[in-house]
């Protein structure tokens, strides 16, 4: 069955570098992490590790040998990002702030830098959490492709097979980017799923870090030392809240400082504007009503298709259950079809 997940839509930062795949790994490091790093290095792949300090390895805060694994990933060019100290976010703002500072300071002691990229445990980051991260200049990262590698209730072989089937379906969409969620704490992920991804990635795509995917490699850390990068730096903050009866965008901004023809894409309760090269036709000829109507219809279809494809989980009859475990609230596709149809009707009146 197909589900729409409320946290899947929360603060998903859209990629700006086309034909890229960002492999991301949560909850580590653990005993399989170093093997994964060696596999990635062997294939010239740089990934992003959202690490916990005290999760699977309770002695990591003081164990220098285990800390070397994180430093090895960092020295190999992989991105190190925060996933909280112990896979937990307190509802108390002061406790949350203390934990974040403690985590960042510890990471800095290990690799020499404090991360600016953050992923919330289970993807759950409420309004206060988002406000804090925005105030502290963090980039809140989610995902758009989930292997559900954690779920081995039907056996690891079944999970690996389902993950492969799901990824094949995702490849068929030919999206401009894929941000894949996995966990380096599982043997089957490191030894079966990741090797399969490496061997079967879509043709023409390359693996890069999340920061690189956003053209933000030089700002993945906030300490004095930064990785040099000649690419365009783009900052994006997106916050989307979804309910059964409404889809409300609180804030969506994409600012490109180096492109003279940059375009702000802001989605709110009143407007849905889609960046599309074909939209130039709408600005050049207001005298031909038939042509304008056709262009508006095409734009509406483009908005609808892209919105649906980027938010609805497609596991058909395989029951892959993508993102279900990350949610405290999920709703059926039928409800969202009503919502999206309503939005499409509103678009026709607005344009």
Active site residues: 26, 183
Q: Which two tokens mark 152?
A: 């081995």
- Establish whether the linkage from the previous residue to 157 is cis, with ω within 30° of 0: no
**CB atoms closer than 10 angstroms to residue 103:** 22
Strand partners, 180: 23, 145
Q: How many CA atoms lie within 13 A of 248 on its CB side?
A: 6
Is residue 29 within 8 A of residue 184, CB to CB? The reply is yes
C-alpha angle 39-54-102 in degrees, rounded to nearest 5: 110
Is residue 158 within 8 A of residue 41, CB to CB? The reply is no
C-alpha 70/C-alpha 29 separation (Å) is: 7
C-alpha 37/C-alpha 180 separation (Å) is: 16
Does residue 14 sit in helix, strand or coil? coil
Does residue 249 sit in helix, strand or coil? strand
C-alpha 110/C-alpha 332 separation (Å) is: 44
E strand or H helix that includes residue 247: strand 247-256
Angle, helices 93-111 vs 127-135, to 10°: value is: 50
**CB atoms closer than 10 angstroms to residue 255:** 14
What ranges in the chain are assigned the alpha helix state H?
A: 33-42, 64-75, 93-111, 127-135, 156-172, 187-188, 194-200, 210-213, 280-284, 289-311, 333-350
């Amino acid at each position: 069955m197909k589900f729409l997940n409320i946290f899947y839509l929360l603060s998903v930062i859209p990629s700006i570098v086309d034909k890229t795949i960002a492999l991301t790994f949560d909850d580590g490091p653990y005993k399989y992490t170093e093997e994964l790093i060696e596999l990635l290095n062997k294939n010239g792949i740089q990934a992003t590790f959202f690490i916990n300090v005290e999760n699977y390895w309770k002695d990591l805060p003081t164990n220098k040998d285990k800390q070397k694994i994180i430093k090895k990933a960092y020295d190999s060019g992989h991105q190190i990002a925060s996933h909280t100290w112990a896979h937990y976010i307190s509802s108390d703002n002061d406790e949350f702030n203390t934990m974040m500072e403690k985590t960042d300071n510890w990471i800095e002691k290990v690799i020499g830098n404090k991360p600016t990229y953050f992923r919330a445990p289970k993807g759950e980051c409420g309004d206060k959490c988002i406000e804090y991260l925005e105030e502290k200049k963090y980039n809140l990262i989610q995902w758009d492709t989930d292997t559900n590698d954690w779920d081995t209730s039907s056996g690891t072989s079944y999970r690996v097979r389902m993950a492969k089937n799901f990824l094949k379906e995702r490849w068929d969409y030919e999206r401009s980017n894929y941000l894949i969620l996995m966990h380096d704490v599982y043997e089957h992920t490191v030894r079966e799923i990741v090797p399969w991804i490496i061997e079967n990635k879509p043709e023409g795509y390359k693996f890069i870090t999340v920061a690189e995917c956003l053209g933000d490699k030089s700002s993945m850390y906030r300490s004095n030392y930064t990785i040099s990068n000649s690419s365009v730096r783009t900052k994006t903050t997106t916050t989307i809240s979804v309910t059964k009866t409404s889809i409300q965008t609180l804030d969506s901004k994409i600012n490109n400082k180096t492109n003279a023809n940059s375009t702000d894409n802001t989605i709110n309760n009143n407007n849905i504007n889609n960046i599309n090269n074909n939209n130039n036709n709408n600005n050049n000829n207001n005298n031909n009503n038939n042509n304008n109507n056709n262009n508006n219809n095409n734009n509406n279809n483009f908005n609808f298709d892209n919105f649906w494809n980027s938010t609805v989980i497609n596991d058909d009859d395989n029951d892959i259950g993508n993102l279900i475990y990350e949610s405290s609230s999920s709703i059926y596709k039928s409800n969202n079809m009503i919502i999206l149809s309503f939005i499409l009707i509103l678009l026709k009146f607005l344009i």
